[in-house]
Amino acid sequence: MTEHPWTRWPSREALSRAGVPGARRALAWTTRLFALGVLLWTTFSHSDLSGWGTAAAALGVVACGAGAWAFWQTTLQHRLLPSMGLLVMLLAIATVAASAGFRIPALVLWCACAISAMERLPLAAALPLTTVALSAYAAVNNDIWLTTVATAVGLVLAGYVLRLDAEARGSAERLLAQERAARAAEAESAALAERARIAREIHDVLAHSLSAQMVHLEAARLLIERGADRATILERVVAARGMAREGLAETRQALSALRGEMSPVEEFLGELVATSEGADVTVTGERRLLQAEASQAVRRVAQEALTNVRKHAPGAKVHVRLEYGEHEVTLAVRDSGGASGELGAAGAGYGLLGMRERAELLGGSLEAGPVEEGFVVTLKVPV
């Protein structure tokens, strides 16, 4: 619900002077202190005050200062009744000062109260108090009526202009705070996205490399249990060592990818199928350089699909097809099927979930499922 303009407080940012330059603040305080010093010196040097009179005048000055500070605090907290009460107290002090012969200080205090009310209070409360203050000013002021009216109108306009200036400054401060919060949220979101990307890279590299090593090491264990010859067992151990080397190379590639240093996708797929028995690759369409995220998605999906073939259909023939379209690139990894391997039940399906997540983050899609013979994984990424 929108607050009515007549009952709306100036914002706390406006009342707190947030965003006021230091030079402007120093100039304002210097001007106030100078004017107050001249006013007090003029008043006390041209008056015949006794000891008690001087003490009472000094007490009135202190009371005005304390009341002004309290009024500043209560308006900052948007407390209407205490703020109005303090302003009425200041008006009363000015009336007492005028009756005691301090006409100039009383006029100045009435004018200050009128301006402060217009600047810091809701308009519904500011206008009556301003009217009272300026009425007292007009009653005591001995200028001609036209000058008094012009001065009163000028004071009202000055207070309202200060109010508008403070509101504009407060709005700027709120917008600046919102912008800073938005930038912080954007930075945090970017950091989380980068963490998710690194997590996917770590998973994909480890899943591809360690799963392949486990396949060969498990085969070596079974051969040892069956009493196979040493050469056959050594062949599996050497293959596991080769997979470890590949894992190290893939880790380096992942680090290079995170730094934006990647080889062409066709070259990567060629190297990938060269290390997989019974796999081949076909590239169609006009070859072109892919963006880092799209290129990395193609690489990791190909790795994960080949790893799944080793786990679930060892020995199956695998055909990898990369097709460059006008608006998207398509990767299809299809195997010929086969009996489930020793590690067919291993894993929790996070590889397929990670591949689909990669595709969706890029606005693409991933489909995986059985076909007439074997299993096919199809990735489509917009480019």
Query: Which pLDDT belongs to residue 332?
Result: 92
Angle at 126 between CA 122 and CA 132, to 5 degrees: 165
pLDDT of residue 44: 60
Helix (H, G, I), strand (E, B) or coil at 329: strand
pLDDT of residue 358: 74
Rounded to whole angstroms, the maximal C-alpha distance in the chain is 124
**For position 259, what pLDDT does the model report?**
63
Round to whole Å and give the CA distance between 259 and 267: 19
What is the CA 210 to chain-centroid distance, rounded? 38
The tens-digit pLDDT sequence of the chain (383 residues) is 456 778 888 888 777 776 667 776 677 667 767 666 766 666 666 555 566 666 777 787 788 888 888 988 898 888 989 999 999 998 998 888 888 877 888 888 888 889 889 988 898 899 999 999 999 888 888 878 888 889 889 989 988 898 888 888 888 888 888 888 888 888 888 777 767 766 766 666 666 677 777 877 888 888 888 887 888 888 878 877 877 776 776 676 666 666 655 668 888 888 888 877 788 999 998 888 888 778 888 888 888 888 788 777 887 889 999 999 888 999 999 988 766 554 444 443 446 777 788 788 888 999 988 887 888 999 999 87
The confidence score (pLDDT) of residue 343 equals 42
CB atoms within 10 A of CB 180: 10
pLDDT of res. 41: 67
**77 to 25, 71, 120: CA distances (angstroms):** 21, 10, 11
Query: What tokens does 157 get?
Result: 């306009």
Decide which of 3.40.190.10, 3.40.50.2300, 3.30.565.10, 3.20.20.150 is the CATH code for 184-382: 3.30.565.10
Dist CA 382 CA 293 (whole Å): 11
How high is the pLDDT of residue 323?
A: 93
Q: Are 94 and 109 in contact (CB under 8 A)?
A: yes
Q: What is the pLDDT of residue 59?
A: 80
Residue 358 tokens read as 């990669």
CA dihedral 301, 307, 311, 316 (to 10 degrees): 90
Distances, alpha carbon 313 to alpha carbons 272, 306, 337, in Å: 18, 10, 6
Q: Where are the domains of the chain?
A: 12-142, 184-382
Structure tokens at 374: 């074997």
Residues pairing with 381 in the sheet: 329
Distance, C-alpha 88 to centroid of its chain: 45
pLDDT at 346: 42
In sequence order, the 6+-apart residues with CB closer than 8 A to the CB of 10 are 119, 120, 163, 166, 167, 170
